[in-house]
Amino acid sequence: MTQPVDSRANYCYRHPDRQSYVLCQRCGRTICGECQTPAAVGVVCPECMAQQRATHPRTKPAWLTRLTGSGAPVVTYTIIAICVVVFLVKVLGDLVGIPVNGVLQYAGAYSYPAAVSGAFEPWRMFTSIFAHANILHLLLNMYTLWVFGSALEPLLGRARYLALFLISGFAGSLGVLLIAPPLVPVVGASGAIFGLFGAYFVIQRRLGGNATQMLVLLAINLGIGFLPNFNIAWQAHVGGLIGGVLVGLIYVETRQPQRRRWQLPLLVLLCVIFVALSFVHFFV
């Protein structure tokens, strides 16, 4: 048997003092054992492996794919995360004497002219949606939001679902403004969640689904708000429910391609009406 010729070509290109007779399957350069990376066929050098990794399509971890996939209720998860973070900040604030909910809560008086209430802060009609009074309040609302959000968000799409949630939440605060005593503050996502109730009920009925169980569940949850000593802002429930029903009607009536162009203008018109109603106390 003849011995291989001892030439510079038989030495690792990265370690010239190491003799080798193994070639990179991509570039053909000689590589020693330390520089070899197993490939589908043969081995490759470090530079070729780096180039292969750079051009290879990136894949997401399985858990991230489940959370952010095309059918995942990302908006629902985000809203839940915001509510949880706000509650944790509220708990920490209570420990150091900072009333976080006092900054976020809403009462009708915050929509009065400053000369009447001393504070004109209408943005609280949104901020109060993400604040909760206690852990039970948070858990009940977030569980309900997760149940209905997981069903509605993939059905409507993320943008329409977010619009439904925010409009319903504002409508809930509007119900507090128009019906509740002006100095009684409220917090919670209940108004927005009742909007999800209302929209889901309308969509089920219009698309031919069985909405009987939904109607019973809606009646029970709405009725609980009227029980004495429960300290539940039923006004927010009623306002959010009405807002959700109206948004749901817009969605189902404009689902046909030839009517789709009317969907956004109708949503904008509804928002304009709600905002106009929120300023009713300026004119009465």
The Cα–Cα gap between 77 and 68 comes to 10
- Taking a C-beta distance cutoff of 8 angstroms, is the pair 10, 21 a contact? yes
Q: Which entry of 111, 128, 190, 278 is annotated as an active-site residue?
A: 190
Whole-angstrom distance, CA of residue 282 vs CA of residue 284: 6
Residue from 207, 199, 205 nearest 169 by CA: 199
Q: Which of 243, 68, 107 is nearest to 168 (CA)?
A: 243
Is residue 190 part of the annotated active site? The answer reads yes
Q: Considering 168, 173, 237, 278, which one is annotated as catalytic?
A: 237
Q: Residue 212 and residue 66: Cα distance in Å, rounded?
A: 32
- How far apart (Å, rounded) are the C-alpha atoms in residues 30 and 21? 7
Residues 6 or more apart whose CB falls under 8 angstroms from that of 99 comprise 93
* Alpha-carbon gap, residue 172 to 239, rounded angstroms: 4
Residues in the chain: 284
Active-site residue numbers? 190, 237
